[in-house]
Amino acid sequence: MKGIVTILVLFSVAAAARAAEGDGAGQSARLALPTAKFAIGDDPARSQPEFDDSGWKDLSTTANYEQQGFPGYDGWSWYRIHVRIPSSLKSTVHWQERLRVYLSSIDDVDETFLNGTRIGKTGRLPDDPRGYDTQWQALREYFVDLGSGLVRWDQDNVFAIRLYDGGGGGGFYRDMPYLDMAEIVDGVQFGAGTPSLTFKHARATIALRVANTFPVAISGTLSYEIRDAASARTLARDSARLALPASGSRAFSLSAPQRPGIQLRLRYTEQSSGKAVTAALVVPYLLTPAESHRPRINGARVAGARPGSPFLFRVPGHGRHCGLGERAGGLSGGAHGEQRLGLGARDPHDPHRRYPRTDTADGLEQLVRLRR
């Protein structure tokens, strides 16, 4: 059986791996952001560093605000996080060009500012002309170009987060937000765009893209491993050199067995630093049985309509490489059937075999019953 399914593949990216796998200048230091000031309502002035938030309530950044004194509140609100960023942070990485702002997950949509300048946005707020779009489950990871001068080294910096909650829990949740310096490999993303899966017989072919979101070309090695979780066996592994253009991507495809428990593990190791990013995917599989070559009519055995009303009954059917049609006769009350192509199709595997054609029936219900 062959079918092409386009899906949004969700990868679980190992956060620790993104930090600094491999050798080099040492582990990238992180500045935890455990608390934030919070207030409900909306005011653009709250994005500015000089805004007075001394009267705001201090909340944890690992739990919804409903759990911290604002039960049942939905709508606009703001967080503000004050943090001193030491200049020594730059010495912890090879590539001293980007500050990573990891905000974990925010329910539902956020727009984030650093010292008055927007640095990222996830989802669409209600005032977006394209309409509201929640992204409550997405991880927020924004990068600040140090050449922009936005970061005030060894001074107070203000991250202002405008958010909208459309219902249920609101605000920060999941794990601890933090700041650190990004390595050049942190710009690599697996599954950029919309990956596709092609199913044929017992195999699934996965077409993916590896993207470089930073404006600098990088070189490295892409490796993969296909594992069977049920047997804990490695079914295949390989690696190849892969250069990624600045703000560009490269396509590749892999083939894996189509059955439960198949996992794909990916790893990209950047050449100059030895740092790596990893991702994992549980390979989807089809449960639908292979389509038969023999024609078959499906659908409800009984259909009803209001007396005196027009009635259209479509007969769903299938059969690979087979023509399908119907003809109904003997219908009462002025009803009539429409002539279609018959069921007299050839078997593609046996040219001398033909499936029977049904020209008439004692009624549409009987036709359906005969061919089920």
Fold of 29-182: Jelly Rolls (2.60.120)
DSSP annotation of 299 reads: S
Q: How far, CA to CA in Å, does 305 sit from each of 282, 310, 311, 345, 362?
A: 46, 8, 6, 32, 19
| Rounded distance between C-alpha atoms, residue 122 and residue 227, angstroms | 33
Token code pair at residue 172: 């920060």
Closest CA to 293 of 356, 249, 253, 348: 348
Neighbouring residues of 249: CB distance < 8 A, sequence distance ≥ 6: 192, 193, 209, 210, 211, 212
| DSSP character string of 61-116 | TTS-GGGGT-TT--EEEEEEEEEE--GGGGGGSS--SEEEEEEEEEESEEEEEETT
| Rounded distance between C-alpha atoms, residue 236 and residue 228, angstroms | 10
**Cβ contact 139:104 at 8 Å:** yes
Token code pair at residue 107: 């329910």
**Cβ contact 157:82 at 8 Å:** yes
Over residues 30-48, the mean pLDDT reads 97
| Rounded distance between C-alpha atoms, residue 346 and residue 209, angstroms | 42
**Which of the four pLDDT bands, split at 50, 70 and 90, describes residue 331?**
low
Over residues 38-48, the mean pLDDT reads 98
Q: Is the pTM of this model over 0.75?
A: no
The pLDDT of residue 316: 73
pLDDT tens figures, 84-119: 999 999 999 989 999 999 999 999 999 999 999 999
Token code pair at residue 9: 């593949």
| Rounded distance between C-alpha atoms, residue 142 and residue 33, angstroms | 15
pLDDT tens figures, 121-165: 999 999 999 999 999 999 999 999 999 999 999 999 999 999 999
Specify burial of residue 284 (Cβ count, 10 A radius: 0-12, 13-18, 19+). middle
**Which of the four pLDDT bands, split at 50, 70 and 90, describes residue 327?**
low
The pLDDT of residue 192: 66
The pLDDT of residue 3: 40
2-13+187-282: which CATH number, 3.40.50.150, 3.40.190.10, 1.10.3720.10, 2.60.40.10?
A: 2.60.40.10
| Rounded distance between C-alpha atoms, residue 298 and residue 368, angstroms | 8
Helix or strand or coil: residue 147? helix
Higher pLDDT, 268 or 369: 268
| Rounded distance between C-alpha atoms, residue 255 and residue 245, angstroms | 25
**Cβ contact 126:40 at 8 Å:** no
CA angle 17, 238, 257 (to 5 degrees): 100
Amino acid at 49: P
Q: What is the helix (H) or strand (E) element at residue 238, kind and residue range?
A: strand 233-244
> What is the share, in percent, of the chain residues with pLDDT greater than 90?
62
The pLDDT of residue 34: 98
The pLDDT of residue 267: 97
| Rounded distance between C-alpha atoms, residue 205 and residue 200, angstroms | 8
**Which of the four pLDDT bands, split at 50, 70 and 90, describes residue 28?**
low
The pLDDT of residue 201: 83
Helix or strand or coil: residue 356? coil
Backbone dihedral angles phi then psi of residue 192, each to the nearest 5 degrees: -65, 145
How high is the mean pLDDT of the chain? 82
The pLDDT of residue 295: 72
The pLDDT of residue 341: 37
pLDDT tens figures, 52-75: 999 999 999 999 999 999 999 999
pLDDT tens figures, 170-215: 999 999 999 999 999 999 998 766 668 898 888 999 999 999 999 9
pLDDT tens figures, 294-306: 777 777 777 787 8
The pLDDT of residue 324: 53
Out of 32-36, 162-166, 260-264, 345-349, least confident range: 345-349
The full set of domain ranges for the chain reads 2-13+187-282, 29-182, 291-372
Over residues 14-18, the mean pLDDT reads 36
